[in-house]
């Protein structure tokens, strides 16, 4: 594919050429969290997009919030690359899937560059993903409290793993021209070029709360301003042509792009749960439909043609439920579902014809009063679940299905109560399905991630969803009728049969 030149092209514009397997790409890493990765990565995405390039945005790890800012910067779905949740073998294919039709890709790292899954070495670290992608790394360094020492820091990160290529550094929070001069002098001896220098700018700061940045959906206008400020700062302080040139140095990947329909076709069909008494006979399966082009919010499926059955799977969205991997919707669509988003804060009924419901993560604890006030929808969700329809709920979805959240009535599907807690629960989990459910047969092993400051009491039902082996063996979650509710966030690309099983249950319930 030919590269595109920015509008009003001149000799200073960034020009990038690519084919799918050799799409130019950069990984934005840092020595630690809080160094400025999100500012640089998001600003760079927006700066390239402003010059007419189609930019593919990616985030290392399971985080849902940063990809929302990436989507705002690029106009494309922000996608995660998680070597723990999906396995190292899927990082390249999922990257190429997201990068279809793009001129350049920017991958924001996670934590410090070499920090990954606890006790698993480099697995799922930014360095690991950079190696899997054969991508050069740009190291973002918070230089606010150092001068000559920056050279030792950069040298250490550049030389620690010879398979990771640190191609340049961006100095963040530089205090003055004199400070910049001292930093550049020191880095001359480290052999790593300075590709950008950013001064501290207050308006680039984005508000945080108990689980990190406030999602885009909750502060749309302010988020647009923040992304614009990041883009302006990166454009003014970074050498975009040099960064694009570094991105072009990435070689071709040997893998093929991931495809939802192909993933379903190649995954063995799992056995189905026994339909509820009185259920209609199963309908003949549909030929999987290739997903339609992605949209910036990852859930706007209104342009998809209705399936012959009108097999509607509703997915919760809006400000209270912002966490969803785009591949989940794509797999459901490929399995024959018509994926329709709805907003539990605004919509009083489920979408017409809803046969299944997916409620992902988010912040229902912030909107407990508003969710509780929407009694018609709470009753509709309860009726759907009571009728045996498949319902998949993760984390925020689990809280919404409880009897109450912080004393506010919720859907009452589960005989459990949820409340905020001062304790952060965070980390990867290796889980196994305790019994059959609408998502997986007993014994299915999946990897997940927990990230919350809430407690559900009891933590598991009579039929738990998962057995978790670490950090301490336990069972958690709920399976009852067609409901599968759990704190674990999983990535269905690692087990595509989950989506097919869910849609088949929609047909038979």
Higher pLDDT, 287 or 421: 421
Position 309 scores a pLDDT of: 61
Q: Which residue has the higher pLDDT, 268 or 406?
A: 406
For the ranges 11-25, 154-168, 179-193, the lowest mean pLDDT is seen at 11-25
* Cα–Cα distance, 355 to 403 (Å, whole number): 23
Residues facing residue 172 across a β-bridge: 142
Q: Is pLDDT above 90 for 438?
A: yes
506: left (phi over 0), alpha (psi -120 to 50) or beta: alpha
Cβ atoms < 10 Å from Cβ of 139: 27
d(CA 452, CA 439): 22
Contact 450, 489 (CB under 8 A): yes
**221-261 confidence digits (pLDDT tens):** 788 888 999 999 999 999 999 999 999 999 999 999 999 99
Q: Is 362 left (phi over 0), alpha (psi -120 to 50) or beta?
A: left
**CA dist list (Å): 27 to 83, 139, 506:** 15, 9, 40
pTM of the model: 0.88
Strands 391-394 and 483-486 turn out to be parallel
What is the structure's pLDDT at 305?
Answer: 43
Question: Is 395 annotated as catalytic?
Answer: yes
Q: Are 362 and 322 in contact (CB under 8 A)?
A: yes
Residue 30 pLDDT exceeds 50: yes
Q: What is the pLDDT of residues 197-210, one digit of tens each?
A: 999 876 565 655 44
- For position 177, what pLDDT does the model report? 96
Q: Which of 167-181, 305-319, 450-464 is predicted with the least confidence, judged by mean pLDDT?
A: 305-319
Residue with the larger pLDDT of the pair 310 and 79: 79
Give me Rg for the CA atoms of the chain: 23
From residue 374, give the alpha-carbon distance in Å to each of 319, 390, 416, 472, 490. 14, 22, 20, 38, 28
Q: Which two tokens stand for residue 357?
A: 């419901």
Backbone angles phi and psi of 341, in degrees to 5: -80, 155
Give the pLDDT confidence of 255-290 residue by residue, as tens digits. Answer: 999 999 999 999 876 555 433 433 333 333 333 333
Pick from 41, 79, 59, 66: nearest CA to 129: 59
CA–CA separation, 141 and 190 (whole Å): 14
Sign of CA dihedral 335, 340, 344, 348: negative
Q: Are 337 and 311 in contact (CB under 8 A)?
A: yes
Residues 177, 67 contacting (CB under 8 angstroms): no
* Interior/surface letters 322-346, b for 16+ CB within 10 angstroms, e for the rest: bbbbbbbbbbbbbbbbbbbbbebbe
The tokens of 401 are what? 């299905």
User: Which position among 86, 238, 301, 395 bears the catalytic label?
Assistant: 395
Cα(204)–Cα(223) distance, integer angstroms:
10
Q: What is the pLDDT of residues 311-367, one digit of tens each?
A: 999 999 999 999 899 999 999 999 999 999 999 999 999 999 999 999 999 999 999
Q: Quick one: how far is CA 101 from the chain centroid?
A: 20
- Give the residue ranges of DSSP H helices in 285-411: 326-334, 368-373, 375-386, 396-401
pLDDT, position 222: 80
Cis (ω within 30 of 0) for the bond into 471? yes
Q: Report the percentage of the chain scoring pLDDT > 70.
A: 84
SS3 of the chain: helix, strand, coil, percent, to 5: 30, 25, 45
Model confidence over 104-122: pLDDT tens digits?
Answer: 999 999 999 999 999 999 9
Burial-class residue 54 by CB neighbours within 10 Å (0-12, 13-18, 19+): buried
Sequence-separated contacts (24+) of 179-185 with Cβ below 8 Å: 179/143, 179/147, 182/147, 182/148, 183/143, 183/147, 183/150, 185/148
Query: What is the spatial distance between Cα 364 and Cα 497, in angstroms, rounded to a whole number?
Result: 29
Sequence-distant (6+) residues with CB within 8 A of 94 are: 79, 81, 86, 258, 327, 493
Q: Structure tokens of 487? A: 């704190």
The pLDDT score that the predictor gives to residue 471 is: 79
């Amino acid at each position: 594919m030919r590269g595109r030149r920015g509008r009003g092209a001149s000799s200073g514009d960034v020009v990038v050429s690519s084919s799918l397997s050799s799409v130019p790409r950069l990984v934005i890493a840092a020595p630690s969290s809080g160094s400025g990765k999100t500012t640089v990565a998001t600003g760079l995405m927006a700066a390239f997009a402003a010059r007419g390039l189609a930019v593919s945005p990616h985030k290392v790890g399971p985080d849902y919030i940063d990809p929302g800012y990436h989507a705002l910067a690029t106009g494309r779905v922000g996608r995660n690359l998680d070597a723990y949740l999906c396995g190292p073998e899927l990082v390249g294919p999922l990257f190429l899937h997201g990068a279809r039709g793009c001129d350049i890709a920017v991958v924001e790292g996670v934590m410090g560059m070499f920090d990954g899954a606890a006790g698993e070495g480099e697995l799922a670290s930014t360095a690991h993903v950079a190696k899997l992608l054969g991508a050069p790394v740009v190291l973002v360094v918070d230089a606010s409290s150092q001068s000559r020492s920056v050279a030792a820091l950069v040298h250490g990160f550049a030389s620690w793993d010879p398979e990771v290529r640190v191609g340049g550094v961006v100095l963040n929070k530089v205090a003055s021209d004199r400070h910049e001069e001292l930093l550049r002098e020191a880095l001359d001896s480290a052999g790593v070029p300075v590709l950008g220098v950013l001064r501290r700018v207050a308006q680039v700061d984005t508000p945080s709360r108990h689980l990190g940045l406030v999602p885009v959906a909750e502060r749309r206008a302010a988020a647009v301003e923040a992304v614009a400020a990041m883009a302006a700062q990166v454009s003014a302080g970074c050498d975009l042509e040099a960064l694009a040139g570094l991105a072009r140095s990435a070689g071709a990947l040997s893998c093929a792009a991931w495809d939802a329909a192909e993933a379903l076709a190649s995954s063995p069909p799992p056995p189905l749960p026994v339909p509820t008494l009185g259920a209609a006979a199963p309908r003949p399966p549909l030929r999987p439909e290739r997903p339609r082009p992605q949209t910036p919010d990852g859930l706007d499926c209104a342009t998809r043609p209705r399936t012959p059955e009108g097999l509607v799977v509703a997915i919760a969205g809006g400000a209270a439920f912002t966490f969803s991997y785009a591949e989940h919707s794509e797999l459901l669509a490929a399995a024959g579902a018509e994926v329709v988003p709805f907003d539990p804060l605004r919509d009083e009924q489920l979408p017409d014809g809803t046969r299944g419901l997916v409620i992902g993560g988010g912040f229902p604890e912030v909107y407990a009063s508003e969710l509780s006030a929407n009694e018609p929808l709470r009753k509709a969700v309860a009726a759907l679940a009571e009728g045996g329809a498949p319902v998949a709920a993760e984390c925020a979805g689990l809280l919404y299905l409880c009897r109450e959240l912080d004393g506010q009535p919720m859907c009452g599907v589960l005989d459990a109560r949820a409340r905020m807690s001062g304790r952060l629960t965070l980390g990867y989990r290796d889980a196994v399905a305790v019994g059959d459910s609408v998502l997986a047969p007993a014994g299915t092993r999946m990897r997940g991630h927990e990230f919350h400051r809430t407690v559900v009491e009891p933590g598991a039902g009579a039929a738990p969803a998962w057995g978790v082996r670490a950090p301490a063996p336990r069972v958690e979650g709920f399976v009852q009728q067609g409901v599968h509710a759990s704190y674990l966030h999983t990535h269905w690309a690692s087990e595509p049969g989950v989506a097919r099983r869910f849609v088949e249950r929609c047909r038979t319930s």
